[in-house]
Amino acid sequence: KAARIPSKKTVEGFDFSFQPSLSERRIRELADLSFVRTCTNVVFLGPPGTGKTHLSLALANRALAEGHTVLFTTLAELAQSLESASHPGLMRQRLRRYIAPSLLIIDEVGYTRLTAEQAHHFFELVAARYEHGSIILTSNTSFTGWGALLGDEVLATALLDRLLHHAEVIAINGGSYRMKERRTESRSP
Ligand code: ADP
Ligand code: MG
């Protein structure tokens, strides 16, 4: 089943004034999608509520509008899908599903620790897309924590080597927009 991408998240709908550590110019440059054409990856790093998923979906919508093939998934979903394959042929078929699109979004890297098998398949996928197709990845966990996440420092180093060789890393160091909305609500009568 194809992942449905919520179409209402756009770059225009993003309030850059709420996130001063984020360069609006950089995001607008990404929105021209040259990163998709050059197979460059984009990594959004930051705490919850800082707009990582919003910006990923906004870029995904731009890419879809330009006729690119796009697949959106979370790391948890991806890891589960690649683990439950009962035989190698099925596994290759599932891997192909994640390798084929010109843009793959892997959201929420950091919330789930991977088993050894899942970590291996995550590495295989990143290696297969290396210089072949773009990945947008979001994480609340800085790269130094990825060894623990994958349960394997050597594998994490090899994965990050490929992921980051051609990549834009965008760190967002602001507050949560969800909390801002909550505060606004509690202030209204
Ligand atoms: P993250 O993925 O970093 O946890 P989200 O992108 O899911 O955060 O953002 C949480 C909610 O707040 C979403 O509904 C998103 O559209 C909205 N949001 C976050 N940052 C902004 C912003 N700067 N301007 C407008 N909406 C925002
Ligand atoms: Mg998110």
- What is the number of the ligand 1 atom nearest to the C-alpha of 47? 3
Instruction: Report the domain count for the chain.
Output: 1
Question: How many other C-beta atoms are found inside a 10 Å radius of the C-beta of residue 142?
Answer: 11
81-86, Cβ contacts within 8 angstroms, sequence gap of 24 or more: 82/118, 82/121, 82/122, 82/125, 83/115, 83/117, 83/118, 83/121
d(C-alpha 83, C-alpha 121), whole Å: 8
CATH number for the domain harbouring residue 182: 3.40.50.300
Within a domain: 3: no
In this prediction, residue 33 carries a pLDDT of 98
pLDDT digits (tens, 9 = 90+) for 117-126: 999 999 999 9
What was the pLDDT predicted at 187?
57
Average pLDDT on 129-153 reads 97
Give the environment of ion ligand 2: residues with CB less than 5 A: 53
In a domain, residue 7? The reply is: no
Report if residue 45 sits inside a domain: yes
Q: Measured in whole angstroms, how far is the alpha carbon of residue 97 from the centre of its chain?
A: 16
1 within a domain of the structure (yes/no): no
CA of 103 to the centre of ligand 1 (A): 21
Whether the CA torsion 2, 140, 47, 34 is positive or negative: it is negative
Asked whether residue 2 is domain-assigned, the answer is: no
**Is pLDDT above 70 for 1?**
no
Q: Which ligand is nearest to the CA of 44?
A: 1
Full domain range(s) for residue 159: 19-187
User: Could you report the per-residue pLDDT of 32-67, keeping only the tens digit for each?
Assistant: 999 999 999 999 999 999 999 999 999 999 999 999
